[in-house]
Amino acid sequence: MFCWRSSKRSKAFVACLLFYVSISYFSFERFTGEFSTGVVGDQTPREGAVSSSYKTGSQVSLDWSRSNSGEIVRLVQSCSKPAEYGEYLKDVADEIALKGANIRVFSRITGSRVLTRWNKDEFLRENGRVIVHGVPALSWARHRQLAWAIVKCAKLGFLPGFENAETLADIVASSKGSVQQSFKVWNTQSDGAVHDAFKEMDGYVSSEYFPNEQLRSGDMVSRDDGLLVRHEDLLRPSFSFDSLDLIISTEVFEHIPDPYLAHQQVLKILKKGGVHVFTVPFNQYEARDQICAKLAPDGRVTFTGTPNMHGDPLRPEGVPVFTIFGHEMIDKLCTMGFEAHSFMIHIPREGILGSGAIVFVARKS
């Protein structure tokens, strides 16, 4: 805005200046306040929660932990619901996180408010690490997706006795009750935030897969860090049939040459009504799975195109990706005997952002 100052019109100049300041203040308040939720058609996220903005060094710092703005939860596919993923549109919360920010969010894992650090232009599902004493922990957005889904299962009655749980910490605290003492959980990962939440609970077992032909599922292996870890092969798990209430896996099934055989094993070892909560690389725009690699009879991995490898702490060379899943994954799980559900979630308050926030629940019928 341009105001012309003349000696004869000082009052007009002062009024003009005050108007300019008020407009600037209003614009600033509007930026740092909360954005309302916007939806398009089938509730595709557009705008998220932004509050209490201030500067820390070169990064914006925000507190979204007490606001429900921008929260959208959609069941986008199930055995009775055809795939309706729609097109994901970045929202305000996504844009802010992608520019780099420190954001305080509510943790569905611990029940506390935690500080998360979002790196510029990094995939949002693998972003937003929790900062503990200034150090990034093994806890990021994907773990928060899993925690949300596990609590959702409890509230739906899929985990009997835990219907009032709001966090993983609540589930662990309630597991000492007489009804819940038989609650059995298998996590296919032996580190990370979800593991840390469950590790002191009776009935909890965690594992890793070690590429050693001499090992059998159930064997204990000493990791490089000295920790004894259980070896489990999802194609040949050591658990008894109908023995587990909850199985947790994140970014595992894409590394299995025959992922649907592994799902069949999961179905066998779950109790009736038990659930498998998991994430996998998933293309919401494709009906069919993409086969990236195959295992030859001699054990060699042959890629169908450019080799796709994921980093792995146990294998410095990385691990091959055999499958990127499409809509047919849910259909196949339903055919096997699961009640399968796919949820697309966008919850800025809990640090769950971006197009990759899709989590799956497969319940044994």
Cα torsion 194, 200, 205, 211 to 10°: value is 70
Question: What does the pLDDT read at residue 178?
Answer: 55
d(CA 123, CA 112): 24
pLDDT by residue (tens digit) across 72-88?
A: 999 999 999 999 998 88
d(CA 1, CA 16): 9
Q: Which DSSP symbol is given to 347? A: B
Question: What does the pLDDT read at residue 309?
Answer: 84
pTM of the model: 0.84
Residue 288 has pLDDT above 50, yes or no: yes
Is domain 37-365 given the CATH code 3.20.20.140 in the classification? no
| Pairing of β 220-222 and β 59-63 | unpaired
Query: DSSP alpha helices (H): ranges in the chain?
Result: 10-32, 92-98, 141-155, 168-174, 193-198, 259-269, 328-336
Asked if 147 and 108 count as a contact pair (C-beta separation under 8 A), the reply is yes
Cα radius of gyration (the chain): 24
Question: What does the pLDDT read at residue 238?
Answer: 98
Question: What does the pLDDT read at residue 224?
Answer: 83
d(CA 33, CA 229): 47
Whole-Å CA distances, 98 to 13, 101, 104, 182:
41, 8, 15, 43
Residue 330's contacts (CB-CB under 8 Å, 6 or more residues apart) are 77, 78, 79, 83, 340, 341, 342, 360
Across residues 92-96, what is the average pLDDT?
94
Give 287 or 56, the one with higher predicted confidence.
287
Mean pLDDT over each residue of the chain, to the nearest integer:
85
Closest CA to 277 of 208, 342, 354, 361: 361
Mutual angle of helices 259-269 and 328-336, in 10-degree steps = 40
Specify the residue for token string 């943790």: 107
Residue 58 has pLDDT above 60, yes or no: no
Whole-Å CA distances, 42 to 46, 85, 140, 301:
11, 9, 28, 41
Give 104 or 25, the one with higher predicted confidence.
104
d(CA 330, CA 262): 14
Residue 365's contacts (CB-CB under 8 Å, 6 or more residues apart) are 272, 337, 338, 339
Across residues 270-280, what is the average pLDDT?
98
In single-letter form, the type of residue at position 207 comes to: S
Question: What does the pLDDT read at residue 68?
Answer: 86
Q: Domain extents for the chain? A: 37-365
Specify the residue for token string 């590429």: 211
Question: What does the pLDDT read at residue 299?
Answer: 86
In single-letter form, the type of residue at position 239 comes to: F
Specify the residue for token string 């820390």: 56
pLDDT by residue (tens digit) across 325-358?
A: 999 999 999 999 999 999 999 999 999 999 889 9
pLDDT by residue (tens digit) across 298-311?
A: 889 999 988 888 87
d(CA 351, CA 349): 6
